[in-house]
Amino acid sequence: MLSTELSQLLQALSEKAKSGTEFIHRLKCMAEHVQSLRRVWWPSVTHSLRRSRPRRQQLLENIRHEREHKQRVFKEQVSHCTQRLQRTTGLLQFSIEVLKESDPSAFLQVLLCHQVSSPLISRVANVESKFSKQMEFEPRTSPDFELCLDNHSVLHSIQTMNFFQMKAPGPPQIIPDDCSAENNTVTIAWQPHPGSVVDGYGLELDDGNEGDFREVYCGKETICTVEGLHFSSVYNARVKAFNHAGDSGYSECICLQTADVAWFCLDPLSAHPDMLFSNDNMTVTCNNYDDRVVLGNVGLSKGVHYWEIAIDRYDNTPDPAFGIARFDITKDKMLGKDDKAWSMYIDSKRSWFMHNNQHTDRTDGGIEPGCVVGVLLDLNQHTLSFYVNDQPHGPVAFVGLHGVFYPAISLNRNVQVSIQTGLNVPADSDTEDE
């Protein structure tokens, strides 16, 4: 009995000894980590101090410019005064030679000669009276540097420079009043946790169907706009911050709902160059007799969407086409000629559905100026249907539609149309919400 108790105690003590050994190992690793911190912080301190060198060079450069300026001023003044002095010295020497004339008759002749003596005396008197002014007996600049280095702020900064305890930032705070949702675009704004040091942020959105979050932005800004989302969807957004010490927790989520229906215009940037736009890109025609394609400026992947195309001009019975397409559709042929478009092309008497150059379901009834063609894309049931003048035109045109689709039109120069978007679904449609 005693041996059993002793064995149990020894087992417990052995476990504690093992834990102690592991703890000592952790302490040694921490000590090595502390030793390695010099390699982390030394460059930071050195870099901070080195940043003062460019300012030092700039200040020394200012002193050099001031010195060169003063030297140039003194040099110019010395040259000027030297020239004045040389002319004055020459006049003095000439006048002294006149006074040294030893022949009384010659000297008297010089004195009595008005043409010589009077100009000489006048010239000497004139030079004597103007000498002080012309010599500028005041230096043009001071030899002293009238500069004083204001170093109080930098000395204070140096004296107060110190390390602070770097911690992972606190969770950012989303600013609801600055967040918004418009069409299929959301904008999220946030601010850092008070007192946190932040190097950057990561914004995450779910998939609009309560699925997993994914990162949509990483950077230093505190506002982000995310475009190209699903319509009729509720998105949850959250933000985290990070610095060298680690990541923060996530902010509280904010829910933003995109528009139920799509508002869009035609997209000149992706359209064929022959297309001509007006009415804020809601009206389009073409300058070519061949068919050209234009897309809407939003992609549709979820929800039920209905838009209409009004026939403004219709000459010589062409056959424009209306429908949907992938973004990378060929733009220089009729809509539906390739496998990236689903359309109805229609003339003045009849229409056909077309996809991948396959024509189906001829339907009587055409268009003329003033007619309105409706396009109903139901991505809940994955179908595409058409209307003419508010009446269903033919059967359901296409089924099994999945992915992202863009509203699309093809036409030539004989047709001009205008679109109207964001409309309610026709009352007699078979659409239903999932």
How many C-alpha atoms does 23 have within 13 Å on its Cβ side? 6
Instruction: Let me know whether 333 and 402 are in one domain.
Output: yes
Instruction: Let me know whether 279 and 400 are in one domain.
Output: yes
Query: Cβ distance 222 to 201 under 8 Å?
Result: yes
Please give the Cα distance from 19 to 7 (Å, whole number).
18
Instruction: Let me know whether 109 and 223 are in one domain.
Output: no
**Residue pointed to by tokens 């001829």:** 362
Task: Write out the two tokens for 317.
Answer: 């019975």
- Last residue of a domain, which of 135, 156, 187? 135
How many C-alpha atoms does 70 have within 13 Å on its Cβ side? 12
Instruction: Let me know whether 312 and 343 are in one domain.
Output: yes
Instruction: Let me know whether 178 and 283 are in one domain.
Output: no
pLDDT for 115 equals: 47
Q: Is residue 387 part of a domain?
A: yes
CB-based contacts of 67: which residues, under 8 Å, 6+ apart?
145
CATH number at residue 180: 2.60.40.10
Number of structural domains (the chain) is 3
Query: Cβ distance 420 to 312 under 8 Å?
Result: no
Beta strands in 280-378 (DSSP E): 283-286, 292-295, 304-314, 321-325, 341-346, 350-355, 358-364, 372-378
pLDDT for 250 equals: 95
Instruction: Let me know whether 361 and 245 are in one domain.
Output: no
Return the biggest CA–CA distance within the chain.
158
Instruction: Let me know whether 100 and 207 are in one domain.
Output: no
* pLDDT mean across residues, the chain: 83
**Residue pointed to by tokens 């035109």:** 393
CB-based contacts of 276: which residues, under 8 Å, 6+ apart?
284, 285, 286, 287
pLDDT for 76 equals: 80
- Last residue of a domain, which of 208, 223, 257? 257
- Structural domain for 229, as ranges: 173-257
* Least-confidence region, from 36-45, 70-79, 331-340, 361-370: 36-45
Q: Is residue 90 part of a domain?
A: yes
Write out pLDDT tens, residues 153-186.
767 776 776 655 668 899 999 999 999 998 889 9
pTM for the full model?
Answer: 0.59
pLDDT for 114 equals: 42
The DSSP-derived string for 121-169 is HHHHHHHHHHHHHHHT-S-SS-SS-------HHHHHHHHH-------PP
Please give the Cα distance from 188 to 170 (Å, whole number).
18
Please give the Cα distance from 173 to 195 (Å, whole number).
12
Q: Is residue 111 part of a domain?
A: yes
Instruction: Let me know whether 327 and 409 are in one domain.
Output: yes
> Between 51 and 267, whose confidence is greater?
267
Task: Write out the two tokens for 40.
Answer: 């982390």
Task: Write out the two tokens for 94.
Answer: 């000439």
Q: Is residue 25 part of a domain?
A: no
Residues in the chain: 434
Instruction: Let me know whether 249 and 186 are in one domain.
Output: yes
Instruction: Let me know whether 318 and 400 are in one domain.
Output: yes
Q: Is 179 exposed, middle or buried (0-12, 13-18, 19+ CB in 10 A)?
A: middle
CATH number at residue 358: 2.60.120.920
Write out pLDDT tens, residues 75-93.
787 777 777 777 777 767 7
Instruction: Let me know whether 78 and 196 are in one domain.
Output: no
pLDDT for 47 equals: 67
pLDDT-derived band of residue 433, with 50, 70 and 90 as boundaries? very low
What sign does the CA torsion over 97, 102, 105, 106 have?
Answer: negative
Write out pLDDT tens, residues 383-394.
999 999 999 999
Helix, strand, or coil here: 378?
Answer: strand
Instruction: Let me know whether 283 and 406 are in one domain.
Output: yes
pLDDT for 120 equals: 62
- Last residue of a domain, which of 116, 135, 154? 135
pLDDT higher than 80, residue 408: yes
